[in-house]
Amino acid sequence: MSTLTLDRYLARESAIHAADARLKFIATVGFILTLSLLPVGAFAALGLAWLAVIIASGAARVGWLRTTRGAFFALPFLLAAAPLVFTRKASPLGEIDTGFFTLTVSGEGLKMFATIALKSWVSVQAALLLSFTTPFHELVNALRRLRLPSLMVAIISFMYRYIAVLADESSRMMRARAARSASLDGRGGGSIAWRAKVVGSMVGSLFLRAYERSERVFAAMQSRGFSGEIRHMGGRKMRRGEWLALGTTAAALSGFSVVARLWLPVA
């Protein structure tokens, strides 16, 4: 049993759960692409997009709070966009004096940052909805049938299978270390350098174990007839209704982009 819960899939009865994984994947990627192409300050359009995700979450019976809250885990990545607030020059709002240099807060930069933050927040919610409603192995199969390079799909599939095994192995090592990390009052713990050395050798030994396992897995694959080419059982073709749904999604997303540019207010 794994200590790691990698699977976000929530088994529910809904049309979204039942839909073909390929359809869901394309729709999600299309949605995220549409969002990312929205102009800076298109807050009304982003609000509408968020509403769409909330409605879809409701329809999939996963609860809108779950997707909304879940999306906050992507916040740290926003740090990359944070400098925009200070590097833009237009419409300065104020200054921050750090003692070494002065940072100018730019209104334009702030608007860009807010747009990026909202875009990524809504996008992550859409991706979360996909993972809540689609088992990971079905997603992998969908990627394969969408003609992603088979080596890439194989890597994703192995990653999914073995990340839990690796996590188990590393948590066993951590436990073994914790069991021997007793300390007397006021002493113990060791220097930073010593601790770094311990962690370093743990990482190294984890790598070696993973490497050795990969050789055994390869031998197990060879034993069962693998000779360099991964084969798959073909899946069913997309049904008429699914093509229709795909067309509708594409039309809705393009329509939304046009409306967002021409009629919706942009800050």
Partner 1 sequence: MNNEQPRVPSAPGHGVESRWVEVEHLHFIYPDGLEALKGVDLVIARGEKVALIGPNGAGKSTLMLHLNGINTPSHGQVRIGGATVDRSTVKRIRAEVGLVFQDPDDQLFSPTVFEDVAFGPLHMGVPIEEIHRRVESALASVGMSGFERRLPHHLSLGQRKRVALATVLSMEPSVLVLDEPSAGLDPRGRRELIRMLRTLPQTLLVSTHDMRLVAEVFPRVVVMDDGRVVADGPTSVVLADSALLEAHGLESP
List of residues contacting partner 1 (CB under 8 A) = 1-2, 7, 136-137, 140, 157-158, 160-162, 164-165, 213, 216-217, 219-227, 231-234
CA-based nearest residue to 32, from 114, 129, 97: 129
Interatomic CA distance for residues 209 and 241, integer angstroms: 48
Q: Which is nearer to partner 1, 180 or 231 (CB)?
A: 231
What's the min distance (Å) between Cβ of 77 and partner 1? Answer: 27
CB of 169 to partner 1, least distance (A): 10
Q: Please identify, using beta-carbon distances, which residue of 216 and 240 lies nearer to partner 1.
A: 216
Beta strands in the chain (DSSP E): 92-97, 102-106
Q: Decide whether 1 or 80 has the Cβ nearer to partner 1.
A: 1
- Least CB distance from residue 109 to partner 1, whole Å? 44
Nearer to partner 1, 211 or 263 (CB): 211
Q: How far is the CB of 164 from partner 1 (least distance, A)?
A: 4
Q: Do residues 48 and 174 lie in contact, with contact meaning Cβ atoms separated by under 8 Å?
A: no
b/e 65-103 (16+ beta carbons within 10 angstroms → b): ebbbebbeebeeeeeebeebbbebeeeeeeeeeeeeeee
Identity of the residue, 198 or 221, whose beta carbon is nearer to partner 1 in the bound complex: 221
Residue type, 203: V
To the nearest whole angstrom, how small is the minimum distance from the Cβ of residue 174 to partner 1? 19
Phi-psi region at 240: left, alpha or beta (left = phi > 0; alpha = psi -120 to 50): alpha
Nearer CB in complex with partner 1: 76/225? 225
CB of 26 to partner 1, least distance (A): 21
The DSSP code for 100 is S
Give the whole-angstrom CA distance, residue 143 versus residue 156.
10
